[in-house]
Chains A and B, each alone.
Chain A
Amino acid sequence: MSDRREDQSKAGDQTRHTNNKQRSIAEWTTLTISVAILVGILGLVSWLHFSDSDRPAVITVEAQIDQIRQDESGYYLPVIVRNEGNITVEDVQVQAELDSGSGEPETADFLITFLVGDEEVHGTFIFQNDPSQGELTTAAGSFKFP
């Protein structure tokens, strides 16, 4: 019982001490850093808000013909997919068709879950024929808005 009373009195002392004390240099330092972080993040969000010019999504697919890699399973063609607008799009279907002149054209595709404005994503198509020899078409087939 006496211990509890002692504890309570200690707690009371501590509270009074806390309420009356001036902020220490350490507290001022951490508060300044915290305020700077908060102002920084608010500033960045404001900048995003006011620079938001609503450029519509334009999806480009750039084939890296000079970086084709070949092994026994086929020709690996790296591509860079870019969203040149500033609106995020979802489920971007990227397609490629290779007409090598003999037989049916080869097709390949992959899906990008989200493509943010100004973002670029690297992907690879795999063909049985050499894409640098045939007629290659790459394009984004479809996307939706999240």
Chain B
Amino acid sequence: MNAWKQELDDFVRAFSGAYIFGIPLLFTMEMWWIGEYVNPWQLFAFLGLALLANLGLSFVAGFKRESTFITSIDEAIDAVAVGVIAATMMLFVLNQIRPGDPLESIIGKIVIQAVPLSIGASVANQVFGTDGEKNRQGEEGNKQQLKPWQELLSDVGATIIGGIFIGFSIAPTDEIPMLASAIGYSHLMGLIVFSLLISYGIVFASGFDEPSPEGPFQKPFTETMLAYLVSLLVAFVMLYLFGQIALDDPLLSIVEQTIVLAVPTTVGGAAGRLVI
């Protein structure tokens, strides 16, 4: 395989793993607050902890499928860098870091979130990578017997279940109305694009799952769009069931909260389509 393609796959897988494991903490206000008053020496400790944890993890679950000591150091550095970038992008899209904010607040929030995100990047392969190869071969045997409509039903079902699994712990929290009230049009558009990219990344580009050529909804673009619509619906229903939104609320408020919650339900849905 082309070396650049291999690197790209490795990093998309790392980013996907980071978001699958780190998304609940990205939507936790205490994590944002701790980032605002944490001392620089604590940030050093958090970065050290992230490097050590990832160094250890890369021996057993490296995202580059290698396990010598030198490559483990490489992987630990890569994983922390992925955690830092993943945290920066998500916090920026969620409007939790803004260009005019004090530097210590921005750095604090990013470093705190980078710890779980980097660990997610490292364990990405443990759950979805080469160890899953045998399972996938088994699944392929079953999949071949499915008709296109069964494939579609299976994908939609997995998207709903995965979305509920991750979204259930986030939907009833105050973070959703809090985030929704502080974002504008540009952030809403950013969240939609970001959700689609993550969904596409997790299922198709990361090599967690092989796209099946059969069926109208097995094309990457179509499946990503369909999955996002399902994830939006899951987000809306959960917000309604938890009483976070009422049907007579202002439409903008309903739309904003649904789009915000659709980020974790999309991540969960994409993960669900891999697992089920």
Contact = CB atoms under 8 A, between A and B. Distances in A.
Contacts of B110: 41
A49 B3 contact: no
Contacts of A131: none
Contacts of B68: 19
Contacts of A114: 33, 36-37
B104 A116 contact: yes
B229 to A, nearest CB: 34
A30 interface: yes
Contacts of B37: 88, 90, 114, 116, 146
B250 to A, nearest CB: 18
Main secondary structure on chain B at its contact with chain A? Answer: helix
Given A38-B77, A41-B111, A30 B11 contact: yes
Contacts, number: 88
A33 interface: yes
Interface in A15-64: 18-19, 24-27, 29-31, 33-35, 37-38, 41-42, 44-46, 48-49, 52
A19 B68 CA distance: 7
Interface residues of A, number: 32
Nearest to A87: B37
A82 to B, nearest CB: 11
A71 B68 CA distance: 70
Contact of A25 (B3, B44, B47, B78): B3
Nearest to A25: B3
Contacts of B103: 44, 48
Contacts of A116: 36-37, 101-102, 104-105
Given A41-B111, A49-B41, A116-B37, A26 B104 contact: no
Interface string B6-32: 110001000000000000000000000
B107 A41 contact: yes
A30 B80 contact: no
A48 B77 CA distance: 22
Nearest to B44: A45
Interface string A90-121: 10000000000000000000000110111100
Nearest to B5: A26
A25 B6 CA distance: 12
9 contacts: A26-B3, A38-B81, A45-B44, A48-B40, A48-B43, A48-B103, A116-B36, A117-B104, A119-B101
A130 to B, nearest CB: 29
Contacts of B104: 48, 86, 116-117
A27 B7 contact: yes
Contacts of A52: 40
Contacts of B234: none
A86 B41 CA distance: 16
Contact of A45 (B6, B74, B107): B107
B5 to A, nearest CB: 9
Nearest to B114: A41
B65 interface: yes
Nearest to B130: A11
B55 interface: no
A113 B4 CA distance: 46
B85 interface: yes
A118 B100 CA distance: 11
Interface in A109-142: 113-114, 116-119
Contacts of A24: 3, 7
Given A41-B47, A48-B103, A30 B78 contact: yes
